[in-house]
Amino acid sequence: MHVSVLGAFEVTRGETILTPSAPKLRRVFALLAMHANRVVRVDQIIEELWEDRPPYSATTTLQTYVYQLRKLLGRSVRARNVPVGLDSSVSLSTTPGGYSLSLPHAAVDAQQFELLVEEGNARLEADDLEGASRILHDALRLWRGPAFSAISMGPLLQAEAVRLEELRKIVLGHRIDIDFDRGRHAELVGELTALVAQEPTHEGFQAKLMLALYRTGRRSEALQVYQRAREALDAELGLEPTAELQRLHGAVLDADPSLDAPVIGAGLVRGGKKAEPPSQLPPDLPSMAGRTEPLREVHSALEDTRRSAPPVVLVVGAPGSGKSAFAVHAAHRAGTDYPDGIFYARLLTADGEPVPPEDVLLGFLTTVGLPQDRTAASQEALSRAFRSWTASRRVLVVLDDAVDSEQLEPLLPSGPGCATVVVGRRLLSHGAISSRVELPPLAAADAVGMLGAMLDPHRVAAESEAARELAELCEGLPVPLRAAADVLHLRPHWRIGRLVSRMRGDVGRLAQLATNRSSITRSVELTWQLLPEEQRTTFRTVARATSEPISLMDAAALLDIDESRAEALLEDLVESYLAEVVDAGTQDAFWYRFRPLFRTVAAGLDSGTGTPAALPVPGRRYAMPMLAAAAL
């Protein structure tokens, strides 16, 4: 028996056509065939036939349909456990919860399609581009039109039709990419022209046609494709072309060498061999305490299919919150969703200098085969090359220690299957950023759990009170917690309480005890160094002057400036996570707080002016209003 669903719905056995004529009977047969050799529940079939309005006789009517299908198949009712996998085995059996249609292996053309796709992917993994292209061609030839086009579909078949259509488009895109990598640009022009005619608003096909025409010396025709695409998008959707299609148009206008086949068309293929996809992530941490919800947020943002542009997730938090480790951990978890590779770059040097985007791009493109004669290319040319290379691939880009939005623009991949995770040194504003995930300090239980994971859990349990106080002194920040654990590792004869007593009243002593000073203070210092001079002075002065939240009026007096300027400076520190806003209980009356660990770092910063200034007026007006009221 052969069941065809890719283009119509037809069931045949030999020369005999077995396709039912009744619409609902065809729908039941199609649903069972798509789940051949598996049980389809009665409630699923009823939902397919009548959605949320089944008649009282739904079960009886369904039994009638099953009886008619059995007559059509010409087979008697079998017992429950029907043997499957035999070419001669075709039967419809009843189970306690539903029905199962037993068919020979790959009797449904949709199953044949998916099996061929798997074989094509295997050939691609084995570096057999020609074989992969041939097999994917065979898979796509099984399609004769939209799936189930001869059936009035219910919700389940409709969902299956959408799934199959999306898979077809993905396979078609992969097969075209393989042919691009084989240098078959001229042969692709005709096929892509037909695809664009069928789907004039599909910008991916438009971009591929432009590139194929450009690489075959038909630059003017490539520009005409863009104009027609722009007109179609405006007429049908009222939209302008995406930024990527506009960039490709600009590159064609400029005859940008980054579009040349030797640079872009080679993709992951070098000398006929498929290189390993880039995998540049640093090593992962064994565990990530207290970050379940932020990890879920990142995962959800990366999987958001509602956006037309690739997702860009910004990860932010206070210095010491473990942003970089978190982003690397999240990227490792999502890695299997990006088969074409993961790129990683740190956008800040160890000395606190921003890394030029062209250096990052050169590193990315060299990894995937950029020829040496392109090393002198401009930032714009390198960015276009990277966008073109990623246009038809699924890659994840992790950009650590981003300083400003201008760093991001040239480094973002363009393909709809790509994504970017950005770790910001401060809050960033950019149109491409689709989600922001903020890392708060760890809850007390999670912070103690992190200590237990890094130290002997029995050691932490034996001094549970001291462990809780240590977590509190570290303010729930993973970086100082890790530094404290390092101190206790190197001093196994110390009790946790001994470290707590050393830190109590002076958390800065942790920096003196830790062997890795950069893990405690360097993160704050790097953020501080990136600020303009006036903001640096504000942090040094205000953070060292008070241990309580400070009002805007008192900060202005301390800095000897007006309140408007003081507010601008303090808000810059909030955006950099060096300060935080505290709710004063009064609308528009903001108070600003500096973490004790940050105040300790501020005390050690070189101001060039000697000792820090004292508060101009001591007393309760530097405390929170509710504390002041309590003292009256």
pLDDT in tens, 560-617: 999 899 889 999 999 988 998 887 556 667 889 988 888 888 887 765 433 333 333 3
At residue 16, the pLDDT reads 63
pLDDT in tens, 175-229: 888 888 777 888 888 888 988 898 888 888 888 899 888 888 888 888 998 999 8
Please give the C-alpha separations between residue 611 and each of 528, 591, 608, in angstroms, as whole numbers: 19, 25, 9
Residue 174 one-letter amino acid: H
The confidence band for 84, taking pLDDT boundaries of 50, 70 and 90, is very low
At residue 110, the pLDDT reads 85
Mean pLDDT of the chain: 80
Helix (H) or strand (E) holding 11: strand 10-13
Residue 421 bridge partners (DSSP): 313, 398
Whole-model pTM above 0.85? no
The encoded tokens of residue 527 equal 């953020």
At residue 436, the pLDDT reads 93
At residue 314, the pLDDT reads 94
End-to-end CA distance of the chain: 91
Three-state DSSP at 441 gives coil
Could you give the CA distance from residue 269 to residue 275 in angstroms, rounded to a whole number? 6
pLDDT in tens, 426-474: 888 888 888 999 999 999 999 898 888 888 888 889 888 999 999 898 8
At residue 512, the pLDDT reads 64
The confidence band for 304, taking pLDDT boundaries of 50, 70 and 90, is confident
At residue 569, the pLDDT reads 92
Query: Does 622 score more than 60 pLDDT?
Result: no
> Which 8-state DSSP code applies to residue 613?
P
Helix residue spans in 303-356 (DSSP H):
323-334
* Closest C-alpha to 33, from 117, 141, 109: 109
